[in-house]
Structure 1
Amino acid sequence: MKSTTTTPLMPITPLAMFDIWKAGLMAFELWTTSLSTITMRNHLWQTQPFFSPNMMKENQKMVTEKLEASMEAGLEMQKALFNSINGQSAPWWVTSQRAMKPYHQRSSANSRRLAK
């Protein structure tokens, strides 16, 4: 009979607990930078005409970045699924960091860029 090893739902090593802390911190940073980006873009939409070249470029960039981030996050989730089918599952705290990374990077970059 084939034995399978499963990852625990809660970590048992300090390094894994630190990874959970990093995942929570990444989620909080994603939340805060998303709120600031939404606020700054709403301000742009209220103060500039929607047909201006700058706004057209910003809107196109926003949509393109969201599509790219969702495709990258979906790819990470597919990798996690295929690895778990093959018996090589990663803990949820590692998978969540990998899935949030594309959104986190773009949201942080947008927040910095729009704040200028």
Structure 2
Amino acid sequence: MKSAIQPALMPMSPVAMLDVWKVGIMAIELWTSSFSTITQRNQLWQTQPFFSPRMMKENQRMVTEKLEASMEAGFAMQKAFLNMLGGQHAPWWVTSRQAMQPYHRRSSANSKRLAR
């Protein structure tokens, strides 16, 4: 019988520690860009009529991007789960980075776009 190798809960190699560091940096960047985007959208909602074409487009874009990011993150977690069932274990810092990536990418782009 084949013995299963358990993935490490704590990073033991310098490469794994660097990956954990990258996850932390990504989480901080996601938090700050999300905060910035929320603030900028609130300012738009307070200064422009909600029925204007620009605001309607922005609101539709916001909802669509959130749904797309949620589906991408869900697919990443589903892929990690199916790989785990197949015996291919990935450490938590790899799967968390894959799950945060869609949110991080969209939040950073929105923050830059709305800042203009």
Instruction: Tell me which amino acid in the other structure corresponds to 1:94.
Output: V
- What corresponds to 1:108 in structure 2? 108
- What corresponds to 1:26 in structure 2? 26
Pair 1:37-2:40 in alignment: no
- CA shift digits 1:26-52 (9 cap, x unpaired): 000000000000000000000000000
Give the aligned length.
Answer: 116
Instruction: Tell me which amino acid in the other structure corresponds to 2:54.
Output: N
Instruction: Tell me which amino acid in the other structure corresponds to 1:63.
Output: V
1:2 offset after TM fit, Å?
2.2
TM-score (norm 2): 0.99
- What corresponds to 2:98 in structure 1? 98
- Structure 2 distance, partners of 1:8, 1:102, is 25
Instruction: Please give the root-mean-square deviation of Cα atoms over the aligned residues, in Å.
Output: 0.4
1:89 offset after TM fit, Å?
1.1
- CA shift digits 1:49-104 (9 cap, x unpaired): 00000000000000000000000000000000000001101000000000000000
Instruction: Tell me which amino acid in the other structure corresponds to 1:80.
Output: A
- Percent identical among aligned pairs is 72
The unaligned stretches of length 5 or more in structure 1 are: none
Pair 1:10-2:10 in alignment: yes
The unaligned stretches of length 5 or more in structure 2 are: none
